Amino acid sequence: MASNPIVDMRDIQFVLFELFDIERLGRFPAFAGLGRAECEESLRLAERISTDILYDANREADRVGIGYDPATGEVHIPAGMKKALAAYYDAGFLRIADSHDEGGMGMPETIAFSCNEIFTAASLSFFTYPILGHGNATLLRNFGTDEQRALYLENILSGHWGGTMCLTEPGAGSDVGALLTKATRLPDGGFRISGRKTFISSGDGDLYENIIHFVLARIEGDPAGTKGISLFIVPKYPLRADGSFGPRNDVLCTGIEHKMGLHGSATCAMSFGENGGCVGQLLGNEREGMRMMFQMINEARLAVARQGLAVGSSAYLHALAYARERLQGSDPADASAKGPVPIIRHPDVRRMLLRMRSYVEGMRMLAYYTALQIDTARHAAGSEAAEAGALVDFLIPICKAGCTDSGVLVASEAVQVHGGYGFCADYPVEQLYRDVRITPIWEGTNAIQSLDLVMRKMLLDPGQKMYGLWRERVMRTISESGGRVDGRYVSLVERAVGALDAAVAAMKARYESRDLLQVYADATVLQQAFFMASLAWMHLWGLAAVTEKLGVKPEGEPAGMEDDAEKSFYYGRALASRHYLGAEFPLFFGQIESVLAGERAVVESTPAFFSGA
């Protein structure tokens, strides 16, 4: 049973320690001696900060919003967010997965991921602040000079300074190669930066003493497109030789975006060099800005997948609490009963709750599995590390697109469970729905994820090795589930693998015949099918695990289990997996039929055929 309104801590423990047995990471020297108690201590601390401080700060920030003074360009962050961030930094969570040599806590990425799910479930706005600074620190470690690392790293990681990633420009949207921001060489080796950026998370504010902007720009004379882009470090306050702040750089927030959600996150329009005085330093090599940025983008995309999971978790638990308390209607299972009953007694409400739970728990298993592969790729050797890295590459677009779409779906269902009250600000679910809607858009829209999966990770992958590896892991779970899980669920997932084989072959044939528009038109549907199949894989794995815990196949009347908290948890988890496999997953085959049909209406359409003014 969940002990807080945002995440089911018992399920987090199940996935980490019982399903994936992450204590096995202790075989790597970096995690020698890793134990469950140490991991759970971090999880409990994340839970306390999130429920005691951050949860209420999130509601306050949504009501108050970000303050902006157009006369000075100053941005003000709600006080509750400052308190929560201070607790987060003081507890060392920004550096939880950094090695001891780097001043971190040396925990696995999988544990960091789960702790950050808890924080994000308490406030999606909150996590837009520290995550960007950590991303900048990663790039500084990998590409910065010794001088740059000495200037910036410790202040960013300690939480004194913040960070941004300035990619998007007005009118360019997802087409980063169309940027107009310009870098002009200076005699001292620096660069004068001029241009405008938009949708910049944490672009300004009074949370930090200084903000270190990482800005994509094109050096004068360099080629058009993404190949001509470089990356620059542009501090809000440049540093003097003695480490003190110099005069403010010519960097200004020209306005904050008025968004449907994320009211606690400072999303800024930024001007660089409006008065000709913005100075920055090159990071890494010239014309390698996108290569460096993509290293961070992969990490960021999994973080966005976590956002979909986290908001879905919070939305489900709020809907569950409401359904247990809201009295309405007669008991459909007992016509003789008098008085209204909690709406959780109504089958359609239970259907919605099981649907929500099945997606949340499926997302959690898939996202944690991906984080576990990151740990393995970093610390294993040889083929084990190579396979883990390939799985990460393959699963990132599936996780990002699938978890964010599902986060929106679960939040929408939570509103529906609340009825008319769900549409009102009296309950948190309307904010959750508003907040999560950005996640399918940012860090590469889900259409971009679909093209990445289908083109780069399959059709352009020699021998389709990544798909073959994913397929082999799924088939292994199918084999290991035989005799432990009802055969109808096992055969359903096995049949799905064959259906994906056919869909991938059809897409390959279209690609080889240069029918690229049809490939592009069907990419999103195929990505959605892969996500559904990946959740089915996870649910089959999880169902086999809880069957072992229960000692019996979890089907039929759960006699005697409702009074046993542990058995009740396992049986409830089994019901969620059964619901997904038996009621949700059959929709997958319609997606496959859509891909195989090759309907050409999209390809044949032109702007002239769309009606309307």
| Active-site residue list | 443
Report whether 124 contacts 262 (CB < 8 A): yes
Question: For residue 126, which of 172, 86, 156 has the smallest C-alpha distance?
Answer: 86
In the beta sheet, which residues pair with residue 217? 230
3-state per-residue secondary structure call for 128-194: HCHHHHHHHHHHHHHHCCHHHHHHHHHHHHCCCEEEEEECCCCCCCCCHHHCCCEEEECCCCCEEEE
Q: Is 601 exposed, middle or buried (0-12, 13-18, 19+ CB in 10 A)?
A: exposed
Report whether 218 contacts 182 (CB < 8 A): yes
In the beta sheet, which residues pair with residue 327? 342
Q: Which residues contact 609 (CB under 8 A, 6 or more apart)?
A: none
Number of Cβ atoms within 10 Å of the Cβ of 36: 13
Residue pointed to by tokens 């049973």: 1
- Pairing of β 161-166 and β 74-76: unpaired
Paired tokens of 455: 């083109």
Report whether 68 contacts 256 (CB < 8 A): yes
Paired tokens of 192: 């004068």
- How far apart CA 575 and CA 337 sit, in angstroms, is 26
- How far apart CA 515 and CA 517 sit, in angstroms, is 6
- How far apart CA 401 and CA 156 sit, in angstroms, is 30
Q: Which residues contact 201 (CB under 8 A, 6 or more apart)?
A: 128, 132, 164, 165, 265, 266, 267, 268
Q: Which residues contact 187 (CB under 8 A, 6 or more apart)?
A: none
- How far apart CA 252 and CA 204 sit, in angstroms, is 8
Number of Cβ atoms within 10 Å of the Cβ of 236: 21
Residue pointed to by tokens 């919003």: 65
Question: For residue 311, which of 4, 90, 7 has the smallest C-alpha distance?
Answer: 7
- How far apart CA 501 and CA 430 sit, in angstroms, is 40
DSSP 482: B
- How far apart CA 497 and CA 562 sit, in angstroms, is 36
Question: Strands, DSSP E only, in 12-81?
Answer: 67-69, 74-76
DSSP structure string for 291-347? HHHHHHHHHHHHHHHHHHHHHHHHHHHHHHHHHHH-B-S--TT-TT--S--BGGGSH
Number of Cβ atoms within 10 Å of the Cβ of 325: 10
Report whether 271 contacts 213 (CB < 8 A): no
Largest CA distance in the chain: 89
